[in-house]
Chains A and B, each alone.
Chain A
Amino acid sequence: MAAPLEVNGAVRVAPEAGPARRPLRGLLGAHPSLWRLASLGLFFLVWEIAGRIPISFAFPTFLETARAFLRLTLDGSFVTAYASTLQPLVIGIGISAVLGVGLGVAMGLSRTAEWLAAPVFIVLQAAPMAALIPLITFVYGIGLLSKTLAVIMLALPVIVLNGYKAVRNVNPSLVDMCRSFQGSAWQRIVKIIIPDASPVIFAGLRLGLAAGFIGVILAELLITPTGIGDLITYHRSVADYPEMYAAVVSIIVVSTLTLAALEAFELRVLRPEKRRG
């Protein structure tokens, strides 16, 4: 939401352009989403040119990649791959969200929980978790369980720490307000602390989701050759670079769409006031 506003701002302060360019600017100014399309279009153009130079035989052009993307979509390869990739991701994120928000809120509310858990998660978040992924091959073998664990390993620390920080930073005046009207401890948590903390909790969930994507794809690349990770590995091994690129692009598309859906959910359910200007 912020990006198009900034773009609008830039339009307003930009020096006067020649009259010939005005209609285009007027059009773009009126439809902020056009700016995003224009930006994407420019990126694809640069990609296409770079691919045609060519930079390397392993670097396909945009159009080749787009064709491969269409092919993989139509022949069902993406559907099969994502069925396998998204399942552990959904389970892992679900577990991390429940556990992470619960733990984070508990740590924010209770000194004991804070002392017990905060150091662990601070260390975990600082550690290069991606490097620890191979560990779970050895311990848990391959399959759904190891992928789910990879997701949790990467997603949980950031969700916990955001929940904890969010609760710590809840407006103390609102907490006093709830107490002054004799709200119970439970009402205080559910009606004040969680809604007030929700923007930061959701920022944690978004970061956790992004990290979870990394976790599941690393697991597929490193441990258990299935899903979209396998699609990438396979097409690389047979030198189908457009297909490999298409698979990588699909990850970006899917994660962007998921994050946007999460944001829409947050605005709708928890912070309705943010939908209005």
Chain B
Amino acid sequence: MRNITAAAQAAIDHAAIDRSAPGEDIAVEVRGISKIYGDVEALRGIDLDFPRGRLTTLLGPSGCGKTTLLKIIAGLNEPSAGEIRVNGRPVTGPGPERAFVFQDFALMPWATVMRNVAFGLELRGMGKDERQAIARKYIAEVGLAGFEDKYPHELSGGMRQRVGLARAFAVNADVLLLDEPFSAVDEQNRRKFQEDLLRLVALENKTFIFVTHSIEEAVYVSDRIVILSRRPGRVAQIIEPEIDRTASPDAIRRDQSYLDTVEAIWQGLKRYVD
């Protein structure tokens, strides 16, 4: 019982077709993005649309340019060719409508959880009381209430990434860019974290662009999965796992369509593995 959409099935058959429906509300447009580092071609001709309010995952073998693409969308990295548009406006650098969650957390070790979470607001010049009130709300939302005055080194890896997530939520950006946020988190925490992420996706109604190299993780959390080929990264497939997310997390992980989607993606990705 394959629960992949017919269109996505077509995408599997004819690789690299962007199948976003006309008229769909697009938050982020990627147009003809290429990136060359010296003599390394990281990305080649990427065209993608990221629908608003959805979680889209970039999935691909390590070194295929996922981080590069995400940083180009974030405006942290210049593309060699092509253009990014967010809410219809071309990207020339970082902007308030986008927030980034870093693979290595990127927390300031000298700052408390509170200051780290409020840092985006601090940079905007918001007053201390106001920004701390906002930060406190998101610290609680990611399940870290009571840890406001701790320093990052006093937290576990999973808790540190929650701080990174709260910091990104606190600036109230439309688009959240998450670069393998769980890769440095142990397996038990990772599952818990994935469940929490789904809850936050439902709660926050934002556009999420999520990077992972884990097929299971991609299928579990995504509305849409963009599979990138090995370097130079190109769009190989786009898949929409249609999974009933009202079921319990454990039921989802045993669900036949979940397992089938994982298998289908694995069959597609296998050729990129040595």
Contacts and interface: CB of A to CB of B under 8 A. Distances in A.
A215 to B, nearest CB: 32
Interface residues of A, number: 22
Contacts, number: 62
B6 interface: no
A248 interface: no
Contacts of B119: 177, 181, 191
B76 A176 contact: yes
Contact of A273 (B96, B104, B109): B109
A35 to B, nearest CB: 26
Contacts of B94: 179-182
A271 interface: yes
Contact of B110 (A176, A177, A181, A270): A270
Interface residues of B, number: 28
B124 A182 contact: yes
Given A195-B110, A273-B151, A173 B123 contact: no
Nearest to A171: B106
B120 interface: yes
A200 B44 CA distance: 41
Contacts of B154: 276
Given A273-B109, A273-B110, A179 B120 contact: no
B125 to A, nearest CB: 10
A21 B194 CA distance: 56
Which 4 A-B pairs give the minimum distances between C-beta atoms? A273-B151, A177-B106, A181-B120, A180-B100
Given A273-B111, A273-B152, 19 more contacts: A171-B106, A174-B106, A176-B71, A176-B76, A177-B119, A179-B93, A180-B74, A180-B94, A180-B100, A181-B120, A181-B124, A184-B123, A191-B123, A192-B108, A195-B108, A195-B110, A273-B109, A273-B153, A276-B151
